[in-house]
Structure 1
Amino acid sequence: GAKLSGFEAGLSGTMRPFGPEWAISPFVNGTRLTEYSDNATGAKLLYTPEWTASTGFTVHDRHGFKGMFNLAYTGKTKVQVWEDWSGRVVTKAGFPLASVSLSKKVFLGEGKARGTGVTISAEVNNLFDRNYEYVRGYSMPGRTLTVGIRADI
């Protein structure tokens, strides 16, 4: 087993600067681990960042539009080096990642009040095409675009 303890905080709110039709909700969240150790050895857990944080905002209107921007930071992490098979432990630098998503729900027929419709969405992860790794030597995907259509019945 392992022991994890620390602090987590978040702050969010909603503003309507353009009247009741639009809502903008900024947010910020953070986590700091004060202890993250293996119960058997007492050693700090590898691949576990001491700090993580995210900030961004969501926006939506009363007509089915939604948008989101998120900037997440993963702090420095102790990892093992396996490219040379040594398994030695090193400190890997932290990294930020940004993502953005947009969607629009088109309401259909008599079910408008109940939400019947079609939702068209697009999401871009790793917006700035950053090279990053959670495990050293195993790169994560670059910028990815996902587009979708969903039937809401």
Structure 2
Amino acid sequence: MSKMTLGSYPHMLGFEQLERLLERTAKTGNEGYPPFNIEQTSDFSYRITLAVAGFAEEDLSITVEDRQLVIRGRQHDDGADRVFLHRGIAARQFQRSFVLADGVEVGEAAMENGLLHVDLTRSRPETVVQTIQIKKG
């Protein structure tokens, strides 16, 4: 049996980009760290919250490239000159990726009590009606 693609459906024209987007989303490779929430804050806005306890603002970076929101964290291991009897809190790095739909823009980001909040807004879709004239041949 062959794989069905969006191009296989004759009434769905121009959706090749959506198919590539779905493939890219499946390959983001996000692990389970750090945990995060996504909440809808209004009809046209969202908030992504990541639990980033132990990270300072300068340890975090937020970028948007090619409709993909990427949040990275890199802690500096300052334990080289310290002697640990038990080390259960490791300095680690992470990368979380979120694919954004067309019209979704990243707003502001804020740190609060070990949580990183990233606000997103979606533009309201415009209803466009277009009449096409038929040429006489």
Category of TM-score, reference length = shorter chain: under 0.3
Greater helix fraction, Structure 1 or Structure 2? 2
TM-score norm. by structure 2 comes to 0.24
**Structure with the larger RCO, 1 or 2 (CA within 8 Å, 6+ apart):** 2
Q: Larger Rg: 1 or 2?
A: 2
TM-score norm. by structure 1 comes to 0.22
Greater strand fraction, Structure 1 or Structure 2? 1
